[in-house]
Amino acid sequence: MSDIDKYVLETIVETASDHFFIVAGDGQILDVSPGAAAVYGLSRRELMGTTVQELEARGVLKPSITLEVMRTGKMAQLMQVTGTGRSVIAEAYPVFVAGRLERIVSRSRDLTDIQLLQDEYSLLQKRFSEHLKRHRLPQGADDQTLDDALGELRVRSGVMREIALLLKRVAPSDATVLMLGESGVGKTAFARQLHRWSRRGDGPFIEVNCGAIPDNLFESEMFGYQAGAFSGAARQGKAGLLEQAEGGTVFLDEIGELPLLMQTKLLRVIQDGILTRLGDTRPRRVDFRLVVASNQDLARRVEEGGFRLDLYYRLNVIPITLPPLRDRREDIPALVEVCLAQLNQRYGRQKLLHASVWPELMGGDWPGNVRELENWLERAWLLTPGDQIDASAVRACGITDEPAPAGVASVETMLTGMADGETLKSYLARAERQVLSDLCDTLPTTYAIAERLGISQPSVVRKLKRHGLKATKQRH
């Protein structure tokens, strides 16, 4: 390594926001970055004069990630509490020479400030909820007042109004918002309204479904590319979606589907506000507000190794959980009203709902949530020849007691086919594949399959890919 390269490496270590440790294979600390002293409570000289074994015994490292790597010989990532009471996320990598562990390089990032922001948000949420209970607005004219305050969100249930008003409170900040909930609960609608309320409301709103972009195209789509970066690249290059969101909001839906490599790259952009296009060496500064959503349990994904712990903590600043439609049926009338008005405008004809339909609408479980309700209304609108959507629409579109398509077994029938010793996980995977396989034979497209199952089309694409299946129109 040349002297210049050594100076460059020293500059990177000494100016990085992460705290670096370089440890010998026996646990002796060889070097640390200067900023580590503030987090671990010892000077750089004191840290370099001891071992990780001693630091763990003294409670400076609780636990030591370096000792974990020495024990397993593999990369590790975990949460630490330091002797100064700081919470950090640490990761460490082994360095082998001729099959022998010679060095362990670890880095950590202080998460205390992020956790304080989360605690502050939780307190805000509690206080605001109590405020709403003390000042509950009566029905009638005040409902209109709340509707006006909530922009384009048409919600009636108390829990959804509290969530909407909380989002309105945090909208002026640039804090990352993580929206959780089942597929179709309305996460995109809430993200758009959050964008309108923010100081970035006049900027672009870029929506990205992380599960719908093929892995081999994700980097070029998200981060952009330079001319000649790969075969077929545009001559002038292309700005990625993150650059296109300059001054606005990026909404990453289905964030749990993000490939691990892209998780690492996204984390760097979030931390530094800088990205580099594919095939380029020049970093570019970007400025956007990040909102993400998932219908998965991200904490479990972290435990399973499918999602980075440090990225999870970066995203989990303002967590919002949207309940399923079956738990907030008060919202159904307003959703139906808005959707029916949109259908009437789209198709140029005024249709109404007969009173006989409402018991079915209000009593349905709607496993696909708002998306399923909207799909049902459109089918009912199109299948109704007259101007009034009545009980015949319920039978035609099947809110309840809908017969399964040919080839799709009932749940009771499928349960009898569970093999001896088969685990629930493997059985459900097999059952899911069978249902999808049968639907691929009877329905022409992934959109039709998604409508039948009450889930999103990208979710269908991912499931088919996982099971090695193709819809009818995709076959050759």
Instruction: At 392, list the tokens.
Output: 């015949």
Digitized pLDDT (tens) for each residue of the chain, 476 residues in all: 566 766 666 666 666 667 889 999 999 999 888 777 777 888 888 888 899 999 989 888 888 899 999 999 998 888 878 877 777 888 899 999 999 999 999 988 776 655 655 565 566 556 555 554 554 444 443 455 445 556 667 777 888 888 888 888 889 988 899 999 998 898 999 999 999 999 999 999 999 998 888 877 888 889 998 887 777 677 778 898 999 999 999 999 999 988 888 898 898 898 888 998 888 888 899 999 999 999 988 888 887 788 888 888 889 888 899 999 999 999 999 899 989 999 999 888 899 998 888 888 888 889 889 988 998 898 888 888 888 888 776 666 666 444 334 434 444 444 445 666 777 677 777 888 888 888 888 777 887 788 788 787 778 888 888 888 887 655 54
Domain 114-323 sits in CATH at: 3.40.50.300
Q: Please give the Cα distance from 469 to 434 (Å, whole number).
A: 10
Options 3.40.1390.10, 3.30.420.40, 3.20.20.70, 3.30.450.20; which CATH number does 3-109 get?
A: 3.30.450.20
**225 contact partners, CB below 8 Å, separation of at least 6:** 233, 237, 238, 240, 277, 278, 279, 280
Residue 138 CA from chain centroid, whole number: 36
Q: Which of 432, 438, 397 is nearest to 411 (CA)?
A: 432
Q: Please give the Cα distance from 120 to 34 (Å, whole number).
A: 30
pTM, two decimals, is 0.59
| Residue 241: predicted pLDDT | 93
Cα Rg, the chain, nearest whole Å: 27
**CA distance to 288, 289, 417, per residue, from 270 (Å):** 9, 10, 48
| Residue 120: predicted pLDDT | 56
Domain 327-397 sits in CATH at: 1.10.8.60
| Residue 135: predicted pLDDT | 45
Q: Identify the helix (H) or strand (E) that includes residue 22.
A: strand 19-24
Q: Which of 8, 31, 29, 33 is nearest to 19 (CA)?
A: 33
Q: Please give the Cα distance from 358 to 448 (Å, whole number).
A: 26
CATH fold label, 411-474: Arc Repressor Mutant, subunit A (1.10.10)
Instruction: Indicate the domain borders of the chain.
Output: 3-109, 114-323, 327-397, 411-474
Q: Identify the helix (H) or strand (E) that includes residue 451.
A: helix 446-453
| Residue 140: predicted pLDDT | 46
- Whether the CA torsion 9, 11, 15, 20 is positive or negative: it is positive
